[in-house]
Amino acid sequence: MNAATADPRALLDEWISGARSAGLKEPTAMTLATADRDGRPSARVVLLRGHDDGGLRFYTNYESRKGRELDANPQAAAVFYWAALDRQVRVEGNVERLSLAESDAYFATRPRGHRLSAWASRQSTAIPDRAYLEARMREAEQRFPGDDVPRPPYWGGYRIVPERFEFWEGRADRVHDRIVYVRDGTGWRVERLSP
């Protein structure tokens, strides 16, 4: 692995592109770990929906477990793992909500069914059975019969503002490559770690 790359975001782009080129399913899938106010962790897989100088973006229901945890403890870790490529990227940082305009813009690009399901599902809440969810979906379809399905007020985006990236690449005899980027002012300090 080339440790000379000055910006970890460029290396993340390169590795995601490599996963796409390899035909891997969901190359932007990342395990997102959050913790509640008491530090009890939870993790789930979400999709990276873009990243830039500001951070890594993902979207969800603000009232979901992850949303409640991020409100109480706005820090997260994310892991990308591409087993077929023997590569992993870890990201850690503070989390902030995206603006309403950013959330609206992304929501408008989602397929109609995905926009309707955001209205039908109160993510992470208990429901009596599958039929209840299907009935909620039919209600959403009737409420918004055309393509104009607005973003629910409880749904939107977050940005992980990275403080640390770690790139791991498998090597023979478990002498793996591990390169860490740690935020240092406006730049990044780069270190190689022992595997």
> What average pLDDT does range 15-43 have in this prediction?
97
Q: 38 — phi, psi (to 5°)? A: -90, 5
174 a catalytic residue: yes
pLDDT digits (tens, 9 = 90+) for 109-139: 999 999 999 999 988 889 999 999 999 999 9
Q: Which of 1-10, 23-32, 116-125 has the lowest mean pLDDT?
A: 1-10
CB distance 154 to 173 below 8 Å: no
pTM of the model: 0.91
19 band by pLDDT with thresholds 50, 70 and 90: very high
175 band by pLDDT with thresholds 50, 70 and 90: confident
- Six token digits for residue 116: 């309707």
CB distance 117 to 106 below 8 Å: no
Measure the CA–CA gap between 150 and 137, rounded to whole angstroms. 15
* Domain range annotation of the chain: 8-110+151-192
pLDDT above 70 for 1: no
pLDDT digits (tens, 9 = 90+) for 60-112: 999 999 999 999 999 999 999 999 999 999 999 999 999 999 999 999 999 99
pLDDT of residue 172: 87
Q: Which of 68, 151, 174, 189 is catalytic?
A: 174
pLDDT above 70 for 2: no
The class that CATH gives domain 8-110+151-192 is mainly beta
Radius of gyration over alpha carbons of the chain, in Å? 19
How do beta strands 55-61 and 29-35 pair?
unpaired
